[in-house]
Amino acid sequence: MATAFYDKNVWSTVSPRLGGAMRIADGVAVHHLASANSPQSFDAGWLAGIERSQMRSGGYSSLAYHRVAFQDGSVAGSRDWGTLGAATGGQNSHTWAIVAAGYFHPDLNDQPTDALINAIADEIVWGTLNGFITRGAAIKGHREWTAGTKWATACPGDNLQARISGFASISAIVSYKLDNLPAVVPAPQPAAQPRCVNVCASRTLRRGSSGVCTKTLQNMLRAKGFNPGPTDGQFGTGTHNAVKCFQGAAGLNADGVVGPRTWDALAA
């Protein structure tokens, strides 16, 4: 499982210009960043630099992938579940994209760790259990999705490609967990943000609220297993319904209004 999960707002202020919602993904594309100087664990400044580079050189509106996984098993959020990515040419309408930080070609001797493989697999499992990825979705390397097209590539490198299918692979771990261990797969946890949470805990939020505290609320709901929809900082119907469901489960008055008691329950 991921050793730590860092939401997009922890490392970037950029929001992608989305071409629309993605239908439920029936494929997963595994990429690598092709950067020999990638850190082994989450690094906010480094990742923000990668995003700026992609925006300059590729014309992207933000980092192209949905998730970024690191060798120590940590994972960073990028594009929200259910939104279009921009990383897999010709396949973005139906594939969910996760990228590994590193350059996994033999000449650079960069081998994926078991922690990285498990983190990628667990993100796919979480997406499947929560209805964003179809059960039995095809899990392929970027090169497999774009072979024979103008987007053909060597990504995700030979070493990572070898760990996508077969024994002890990403696909094998996903299949095993979906068949045997769905109840013990944890939801990704946003990185702790004490300053933001303390400030937000003094605010009352309700339908129509917006801003960073609403986004914090959405992250905390998702961490508790309640789906508020896109993490967009807008307190709409999806967030309202998720709040009411959480309040009911927590034994609170399910009125959809987030005050001190609801904040305390979310933080528990």
Tokens representing residue 218 in the block: 């959405």
Measured CA to CA, the distance from residue 17 to residue 265 in angstroms comes to 34
Report the alpha-carbon angle 250-255-256, nearest 5: 85
Can you list the domains of the chain with their CATH numbers? 5-184 (3.40.80.10), 194-267 (1.10.101.10)
Q: What is the pLDDT of residue 1?
A: 53
Tens of each residue's pLDDT in the chain, 268 residues: 567 899 998 999 887 655 567 879 999 999 999 988 899 999 999 999 999 999 998 888 899 999 999 999 999 999 988 889 999 999 999 999 999 999 998 777 789 999 999 999 999 999 998 889 999 999 999 999 999 999 999 999 999 999 999 988 999 999 998 888 645 455 555 544 444 555 687 889 999 998 888 888 998 898 888 999 888 889 999 999 999 989 888 899 999 999 989 988 888 7
Sequence-ordered list of residues with C-beta below 8 angstroms from that of 137, at least 6 positions apart, any chain: 25, 26, 27, 28, 96, 124, 128
Q: What is the pLDDT of residue 203?
A: 85
CB < 8 Å & 24+ apart, contacts of 228-233: 229/82, 230/80, 230/81, 230/82, 230/83, 231/7, 231/8, 231/77, 231/80, 232/80
Tokens representing residue 258 in the block: 């987030």
